Each structure stands twice: as C-alpha cells, then as structure tokens.
Amino acid sequence: MLNAKILNQANFSPAILGPFSFLVHKISGEGIFTIEVQKNGKTFRKGSIRASKDVEENQINLDMFAFGQREALPVFTLNAENGHILLYNSREFKENRVLIKKDDTLEFDSAKPGKEDLFGVNLLRPGKFVVSSKSMKKNFEIEVKTPELQEAKLSQTAATQLITEDILGKTNSIRILPNQGLVFKFGKGLSDIEIKLDKEAKLEGKHSFTNQLKADFRARVKVQLSKRKKGATIKKFSKKLNG
C-alpha cells in the first residue's frame, strides 16, 4: 500500500534519511567501531562493527527504523579493506544523527559527511527541485520530468547519475525522470547538500502524480529503492571510491 506522506516528501538531506535516500561511508580499516544513533542530541541506540581483512562481507545496510526497535546491542562484521556502511530508514523520513567512532576518534558523522562519503536520493515527484550547498556557495536545479508510462519504465533502468563538485561547478541544472537515482559524492569542496521541492508540476486527472504511480505499479515498476538496488549502487560506486 502506498504511503502518501513518504511519496510526497519534499525535502531531502543527509540528516533526514528515508526509504528513498541513503548515506554511504567506507570504513577506514581494521578495528572495532562503535555506532551511535542520536535523536534530539541524545544517544538512544548503540552498536558495534568488527572490521577485519578475514571477513568477506563488504556492505552493511543499517535500517534506522529497525535499528531503533532493537534492545540488544547488535554486533556487525565487515571487510576492513572494502567495507561500506549504508544508512537509511525503511519506514519514514526522520532526522537522526549517526556517529561512528574507532576508539575515541570520530570516524563518521552523518551531520557532516566527509570526503568520499555518498548521499543517494530518488526523487519521485515531478517538478523542480533546488539543490543548495553552503560549502559550494551555489544552488543547482533538478527538473524531474513528468513521464509517459513508457518513460516511467525506462527510468527504472536509466543510469544512476553521480554528482560531484565538478558537475555542480560546471552546470546549473539537470533533467531526470522520476525514480532515476542521484548520488552525490562529498569531497573537494562539497561538504553539504540540501534538496527542496521548489515548484511541483501541475498534473491533473489521469496524469496526476498518484495515478501515474498506480500506472507504474500496474506495469510492475517498483518505486521503492530496495536493498538489492542499494547493494548494486554500492558495488558500482565502491570501484570509483577505490579507483
């Protein structure tokens, strides 16, 4: 069943993760790492990661919703050389701050993504979105096109676009289809991202946003960014991270 509140989300940033957005951090090496999830400035869940070269697992998907429901402290294992941690929320868009520490050293802060960290988002609502970055001192426009049904099918297989500081510096806008993935790579001057819906496309009758989504579902188009798709994204971009 479609959740209208989730589908109508208009603001996106690394601080507010949901079903259609995620953050990725590559672990720094071997050791024991502590995960802290904070809400309103207070830690309410902790977990740990044991990173070793002997571990085959190279990705951990941390669902902030499920993580918050667990009482026991989970212990994860991850490959120390090519291990990635993916953060998202499967049920809602909610503001949480995630800290990852190695001993007493801060490894990662979701409020301030570091160099090589990734922020991914799927924009479903047709219209114009404005991407703002204080670090780049620039606004960037994304137009999500109102698709015909055939184009909606194509958006599922369209290549995910990697947005870096070079792209933000060279152009002022791009045009995409709904559910065509965007991944922002932090570093080299890009340290913050905020995406806001500026102007929603006017859709009426059979071309309304809700009806378009229903048509997509009838065509067996999945609008939710599944764990499998997340995994494919990490596999694809981890090569760039290590290249």
Q: How far apart are CA 186 and CA 172, in angstroms?
A: 18
Residues 43 and 95 in one domain: yes
Residue 136 structural domain: 118-233
Domain boundary among 109, 140, 159: 109
Residues 77 and 137 in one domain: no
In a domain, 157, yes or no: yes
Domain boundary among 85, 109, 133: 109
In a domain, 239, yes or no: no
In a domain, 156, yes or no: yes
Phi, psi of 213 (to 5 degrees): -65, -40
Domain boundary among 92, 109, 126: 109
Phi, psi of 157 (to 5 degrees): -110, -5
DSSP-derived letter for residue 201 is -
C-beta separation of 78 from 49 below 8 A: yes
pTM > 0.75? yes
Residues 104 and 131 in one domain: no
Residues 88 and 158 in one domain: no
Residues 126 and 101 in one domain: no
Per-residue model confidence as pLDDT tens for the chain (243 residues):
456 677 788 899 998 899 999 999 999 999 999 998 888 888 888 889 999 999 999 999 999 888 777 666 678 999 999 999 999 998 888 888 999 999 889 999 999 999 999 999 998 888 999 999 998 888 889 999 876 655 555 555 566 778 888 788 788 889 888 878 899 999 888 899 999 999 988 765 555 555 555 555 444 444 444 444 555 555 554 444 444
In a domain, 138, yes or no: yes
Residues 144 and 67 in one domain: no
For 51-89, letters b (16+ CB in 10 Å) and e give: beeebeebbbbbbbbebeeeeeeeebbbbbeebbbbbbb
Instruction: Give me the number of domains the chain comprises.
Output: 2
